[in-house]
């Protein structure tokens, strides 16, 4: 199945069918999520109403890491197997990941002001997230810097693989160093330290953002495939 | 409903929450709209190229 979809043309046909469905699911989940964010969840006993920023800040932070993981996996595939679709996905993911990282930093900064009393501190979690944004920007710049797309894909894959080192730093920075940022409240290995009334909107918003991400990714990959087709036609004309 | 009314009347906290939601949604919708516009433009360009090729 995976190798069947690995053909860019087959993938393009599939994206045309799936994209409207994912977008509709994302919008429905967003509306339901917003209802639970503002009508169904209580204020925090310590942070008050500002805890509602968590419902968008945390999903954005998760996706900033998840999208980078996708780029890293695609980069490994690209270097090892010289896979065109892996290059296209990696190239399409970088701007989306940069947007989620920027959204994480800005929403976190706004949350930090009433909670910590400052917009920004050079704390390990915040700094490593900022480094992630710089890496994303580096990938976007490399992807657009070369006319030879295969060269750009190779260099951006190398940067993406080197940048993997930043992911565990972001994840465990709150445990390794003494930081202002709170440690993880939702862990895979223990029960969450958040009340279910707050957990529900958080998960609905996470799924909504997930479908938004898929929808944007499919549109961008389709665009990349068409762009490559245009380049092939132009090249054939010149020859 | 009480949660929402308390939230609206929360003064400073209301503006912090509202501004963070507006910024995040603006960024996500911006990337969505830009991606869609770029792809549609490329689709048009591709169709035109194919038409020109057929004419030749």
Q: Counting one residue from A and one from B, how many pairs have CB atoms under 8 Å apart? A: 99
Tally of CB atoms within 10 A around A110: 23
Work out the percent of chain A whose per-residue pLDDT is above 90. Answer: 54
**pLDDT tens for each residue of A63-95:** 999 999 999 999 999 999 888 888 999 999 999
In chain A, residues with a C-beta closer than 8 Å to the C-beta of B1 are 39
Q: In this complex, which of A38, A50, A99 lies closest to B27 when CB atoms are compared?
A: A99
Are B4 and A38 a contacting pair at CB < 8 A? yes
Chain B nearest C-alpha distance from A63 (Å): 12
Residue A148 · residue B46 · CB < 8 Å: no
**pLDDT tens for each residue of A109-142:** 999 999 888 899 898 899 999 999 999 999 999 9
Q: How far apart are CA B20 and CA B18, in angstroms?
A: 6
Q: In this complex, which of A48, A102, A110 lies closest to B19 when CB atoms are compared?
A: A110
Confidence band of A204 (pLDDT split at 50, 70, 90): very high
Contacts of A106 by beta carbon, 8 Å cutoff, 6+ apart = B20, B23, B24, B27
pLDDT recorded at residue A213: 96
Are B30 and A209 a contacting pair at CB < 8 A? no
Total number of domains in chain B: 1
pLDDT recorded at residue A140: 95
pTM metric for this prediction: 0.90
**pLDDT tens for each residue of B13-52:** 889 999 999 999 999 999 999 999 999 999 899 888 888 8
pLDDT recorded at residue A92: 94
Instruction: Round the CA-based radius of gyration of chain B to a whole number and report it.
Output: 22
Chain B nearest C-alpha distance from A38 (Å): 5
Choose among A140, A114, A108, A145: nearest CA to A127. Answer: A108
Confidence band of A188 (pLDDT split at 50, 70, 90): low
Chain B nearest C-alpha distance from A100 (Å): 7
pLDDT recorded at residue A147: 83
Mean pLDDT of chain A: 88
Q: In this complex, which of A43, A49, A99 lies closest to B28 when CB atoms are compared?
A: A99
Cα angle at A33 between A27 and A36, to 5 degrees? 150
In chain A, residues with a C-beta closer than 8 Å to the C-beta of B29 are none
Q: What residue of B is the nearest CA neighbor of A114? A: B13
Tokens 């909670």 label which residue?
A115
Tokens 């529900």 label which residue?
A200
* Structural domain span for residue B45: 2-55
Mind listing the domains of chain A with CATH numbers? 17-238 (1.20.120)
**pLDDT tens for each residue of A25-59:** 999 999 999 999 999 888 888 888 899 999 999 99
User: Does ipTM surpass 0.95 in this model?
Assistant: no
Structure tokens at A173: 């920075």
Give the length of chain A. 239
In chain B, residues with a C-beta closer than 8 Å to the C-beta of A107 are 20, 23-24
Tally of CB atoms within 10 A around A181: 17
């Amino acid at each position: 199945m995976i190798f069947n979809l690995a053909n860019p043309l087959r993938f393009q046909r599939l994206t045309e069918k799936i994209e409207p469905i994912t977008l509709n699911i994302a919008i429905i989940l967003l509306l339901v999520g917003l209802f639970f964010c503002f009508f169904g969840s209580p204020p925090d006993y310590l942070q008050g109403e500002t805890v509602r920023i968590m419902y968008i800040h945390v999903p954005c932070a998760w996706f900033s890491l998840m999208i980078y993981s996708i780029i890293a996996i695609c980069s490994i595939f690209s270097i090892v197997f010289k896979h065109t679709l892996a290059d296209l996905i990696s190239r399409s993911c970088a701007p989306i990941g940069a947007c989620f990282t920027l959204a994480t930093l800005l929403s976190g900064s706004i949350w930090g002001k009433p909670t910590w009393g400052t917009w920004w501190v050079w704390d390990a979690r915040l700094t490593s997230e900022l480094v992630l944004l710089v890496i994303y920007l580096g990938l976007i710049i490399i992807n657009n810097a070369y006319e030879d797309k295969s060269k750009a894909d190779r260099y951006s894959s190398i940067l993406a693989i080197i940048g993997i080192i930043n992911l565990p730093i972001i994840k465990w920075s709150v445990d390794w160093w003494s930081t202002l940022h709170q440690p993880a409240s939702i862990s895979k290995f223990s029960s969450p330290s958040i009340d279910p009334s707050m957990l529900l909107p958080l998960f609905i918003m996470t799924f909504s953002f997930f479908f938004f991400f898929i929808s944007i990714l499919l549109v961008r990959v389709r665009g990349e495939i068409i762009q490559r087709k245009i380049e092939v036609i132009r090249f054939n004309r010149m020859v | 409903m009480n949660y929402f009314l308390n939230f609206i009347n929360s003064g400073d906290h209301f503006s912090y929450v509202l501004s963070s939601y507006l910024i995040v949604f603006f960024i996500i919708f911006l990337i969505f709209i830009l991606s869609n516009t770029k792809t549609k433009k490329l689709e048009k360009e591709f169709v035109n190229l194919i038409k020109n090729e057929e004419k030749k």
